[in-house]
Structure 1
Amino acid sequence: MARDAIGKKKRRMLRREVGFGCPVEGCRVPFLEYHHFDPPFNEGKMHNEDGMIALCPIHHRQADQGAWSIEDLHQMKKAKKREKPKGRLGWSIDEGVVICGNNYLFSPSLTLRMKGKELFKLEQDQKGKISVNTLLWNNQKEIVAEVKNNDMLLNHMIADDIDCMASGKEIYFRAPDNSNFIKIKFERLPIEECLSQAKNCLNQNVNKSVSSKIIERELNGMINVIKFHTTINEDDFSFRAGDSKITFDFRKVGLGKEDYYGNEHGVNGALNFITENGQELIYLGK
């Protein structure tokens, strides 16, 4: 019998149950899979959340081999006090492209800042490796999730959801009150596929643009791609970056609502919104 996909609500409930990190003592890795143990799937042929538990891939394999009894696993599900989840992105990135709202951003040093807060940032070390930084907060300005140079700092007590793919390729954080969220996905794409997507998005001949110059330097026919999605609602404005566009809504400060898509930024490209009195609202650039 083919295994049906576990429903989104069940997966979210299982993540929340363990505080968004592997419940095995001393682990707390946020990259989770879903283990059937009471009964095992090959016996029950169903996704019964009362008999399932979220575990990291290593401990999932050990659980499959009987490392813990059924009672042990039920006790893990019932535990009340849990440490904060901790993990690290294993992405190895040098040069590549960030795709955000159908905009292509080519820079090893890139910052998206909102009213002084760095929502997203790439930093390059002395060896040329790029690390990811990001920050998510709630209505009370409490930090829900943070990534500092690929190290994840996660507040499981106030997060609505923390979903880190077991493959390590995608992370998703959501605040509980105003639906602020951040999703970051890393993948390596064939250069031709990336060029084709860029041509459709930018509606121009990318063979003469900065994107082509950088893509041509990639090795082995592949390019590093980071896709960044977010929604951030503030008291005086909102920022949304989806699949098709970025939307800036500044109507609460007397400005307008703007969509931004189909653009590319090189190393020195920048986008900056400020109020009449000089307060910076959003900065996107080096």
Structure 2
Amino acid sequence: MNRTPPIDVLRKLRSEVGFGCPIDNCANPYLEWHHFDPPWHTENHHNPEGMIALCTHHHKVADGGAFTNDQLTAFKNNKVQAEKVKGQFDWLRNDLLAVVGGIFYYNILKVLQIDGHDVVWFKRDEEGYLRLNVKMLSILPRERALIEDNIWKNIGSPKDVRSPPQGKELQIDYENGDHLLVKFLVVETATLGYKKYNNEAFFDDRIKYPITVVEVNYVVGGTGIEFKSSGTTINQIRLGDGFIFDGPTGMSIKLNLVCRQNPSLLPYSPKSRVSPCPCGSGLIFKQCHGLLV
């Protein structure tokens, strides 16, 4: 049995905790799933009655035996706490302003795209809440962070992950320099937006306040490519600024990278090791993800 639960189970687990970690004073919205009754190593199952959604930190704590089954069941069944947690995320229903590579993108949910690959993007759920999606790229054949609608699907072996309670910041770093920082803040008025970013576009009548701003910093290690909220750097050359309203995609750039991340997520293994690698790198399998087989 695949350890990843079916999507309907994931939705149930997220919903019952109010879309945030249910442990007191946490409410982190980036969730994993924990099998506790029975544990996964005892029985492989996806019974939602014996599972709970937790943040990465509290999942590790739970794996270490910090909570009893009765405590975890109580967390699942505490509807008052779930509503309290959910109420802390009203800022995720605002219009979105993404700041990446020195450019502002208003109401554009596909925030960063490289070589046709979505790297950072958002979806709105049926209640209008923004859900974060991440697919980190790497030139190394190593597993990298993968988040689907606020659910961790993969993370690899980062040297550091920082995700404080309330979910307004997420930072992931790997030894080779691959880096992601997603940082949220709420801007209540045009004056406050102008004061922070020194950009008169915040006075445009098309902007509906309050807005949620997401700043994205992203580095592909070993390539000289760096996207910051203040600008884009490619091989020490600084690019771009601007303010863009609406559209299908925010920062979309062609770099012709040979990306080899997340080998465990390949759709299939070729019959021949000299066939093209299914990751789309253009290399033959034995010279790309086949190195790990």
TM-score category, normalised to shorter length: 0.5 to 0.7
**1:231 partner amino acid:** V
Shift of 1:174: 1.4
Q: Could you say if the C-alpha distance between residues 238 and 126 of structure 1 is closer, same or farther in structure 2, counting changes exceeding 3 Å?
A: farther
**1:213 partner amino acid:** D
- The DSSP-based 3-state class of the residue aligned with 1:143 is coil
What's 1:165 paired with? 164
% of aligned pairs identical?
A: 12
Shift of 1:166: 2.0
RMSD of aligned Cα (Å): 4.0
Q: Could you say if the C-alpha distance between residues 261 and 93 of structure 1 is closer, same or farther in structure 2, counting changes exceeding 3 Å?
A: farther
CA contact (8 A) 1:240 1:248 kept: yes
Structure 1 residue runs of 5 or longer lacking an equivalent are 1-20, 34-53, 68-88, 250-256, 282-286
Match for residue 206 of structure 1 among 192, 201, 210: 201
Q: How many Å separate the matches in 2 of 1:110 and 1:23? A: 30
CA contact (8 A) 1:162 1:174 kept: yes
What's 1:182 paired with? 180
- The DSSP-based 3-state class of the residue aligned with 1:167 is helix
Shift of 1:155: 2.7
Shift of 1:163: 1.6
What's 2:93 paired with? 93
Q: How many Å separate the matches in 2 of 1:174 and 1:227? A: 16
What's 1:102 paired with? 102
Shift of 1:280: 8.8
Shift of 1:172: 1.1
Q: How many Å separate the matches in 2 of 1:128 and 1:22? A: 23
Q: Could you say if the C-alpha distance between residues 111 and 100 of structure 1 is closer, same or farther in structure 2, counting changes exceeding 3 Å?
A: closer
TM-score after normalising by structure 2: 0.51
Q: How many Å separate the matches in 2 of 1:169 and 1:105? A: 19
Shift of 1:101: 3.9
CA contact (8 A) 2:114 2:252 kept: no
Q: How many Å separate the matches in 2 of 1:238 and 1:232? A: 7
Structure 2 residue runs of 5 or longer lacking an equivalent are 1-31, 37-50, 72-87, 259-293
Deviations along 1:15-62, whole A, 9 cap, x unmatched? xxxxxx8999676834548xxxxxxxxxxxxxxxxxxxx859xx99x8
- The DSSP-based 3-state class of the residue aligned with 1:140 is coil
Deviations along 1:119-167, whole A, 9 cap, x unmatched? 11233456554332112244433332111122222335x2222221123
CA contact (8 A) 2:96 2:109 kept: no
Paired residues, number: 191
- The DSSP-based 3-state class of the residue aligned with 1:193 is helix
**2:151 partner amino acid:** D
**2:205 partner amino acid:** K
Q: How many Å separate the matches in 1 of 2:214 and 2:139? A: 27
Shift of 1:190: 2.1
What's 1:223 paired with? 211
Q: How many Å separate the matches in 2 of 1:23 and 1:132? A: 20
Q: How many Å separate the matches in 1 of 2:122 and 2:33? A: 28
CA contact (8 A) 1:96 1:214 kept: no
What's 1:241 paired with? 227
